[in-house]
């Protein structure tokens, strides 16, 4: 299939990926009309990193994602925005997800003396998969990419410091899963 031009080879052994030529990630540049408000939501929340490491953000990335899955663009954008709205209910007024209620049901919770656990975003959401931060985290760790790690740190910005100040934190502990626990 490679010699017939049906697939293309990316990378070198042992990290070789083959993909169908028709699946090459190029924006559709759809003639379908996307509302400016929807395009703004996609710009803020959607990021696709191809198997070759190319970043596709916003509408361009979402078009590629839809084409790879043979999904209708406009209908899928609507579903994505509804899913984001559903998950928005988990954020507190300061824009953090308080994860303490979920962890309270964990066996041995009382023995770890945890006062709080907060997240900036979900790692993944239904039907779509990884969120923007989830995509950056996964690819930065998987590829040991300093540029993606830098992008992740820039996206997170001063948010951890804001949380520390809001909660008057006097100690933080890093867990083995690379999560920071505040006390």
- How far is the C-alpha of 49 from the C-alpha of 31, rounded, in Å? 24
Between 30-44, 126-140, 143-157, the lowest mean confidence (pLDDT) is in 30-44
Continuous segment of H or E residues that includes residue 28: none
pTM of this structure? 0.73
pLDDT in tens, 11-31: 767 777 777 765 444 544 555
Give the chain's mean pLDDT.
Answer: 84
In angstroms, the Cα distances linking 15 to 12, 111, 118, 159, 161 are 5, 43, 36, 36, 38
pLDDT of the residue at 79: 96
pLDDT of the residue at 154: 94
Q: Are 121 and 131 in contact (CB under 8 A)?
A: yes
Helix (H, G, I), strand (E, B) or coil at 80: helix
Helical ranges in the chain per DSSP H: 36-45, 58-69, 73-88, 100-103, 132-143, 146-156, 159-167
With a pLDDT cut of 70, the percent of the chain lying above it is: 84
Q: Are 50 and 57 in contact (CB under 8 A)?
A: no
pLDDT of the residue at 129: 94
């Amino acid at each position: 299939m490679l010699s017939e031009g049906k697939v293309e080879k990316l990378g070198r052994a042992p990290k070789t990926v083959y993909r169908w030529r028709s699946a090459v990630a190029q924006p559709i540049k759809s003639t379908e009309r996307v509302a400016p408000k929807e395009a703004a939501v996609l710009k803020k929340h959607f990021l696709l990193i191809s198997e070759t490491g190319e970043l596709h953000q916003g509408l361009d990335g979402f078009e590629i994602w839809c084409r790879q899955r043979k999904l209708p663009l406009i209908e899928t954008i609507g579903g994505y925005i509804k899913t984001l709205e559903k998950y928005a209910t988990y954020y507190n007024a300061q824009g953090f997800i308080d994860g303490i209620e979920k962890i309270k049901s964990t066996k041995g919770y009382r023995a770890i003396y945890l006062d709080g656990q907060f997240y900036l975003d979900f790692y993944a959401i239904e039907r779509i998969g990884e969120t923007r931060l989830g995509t950056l985290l996964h690819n930065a760790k998987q590829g040991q990419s300093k540029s993606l790690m830098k992008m992740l740190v820039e996206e997170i910005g001063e948010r951890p410091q804001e949380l520390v100040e809001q909660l008057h934190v006097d100690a933080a502990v890093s867990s083995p899963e690379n999560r920071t626990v505040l006390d």
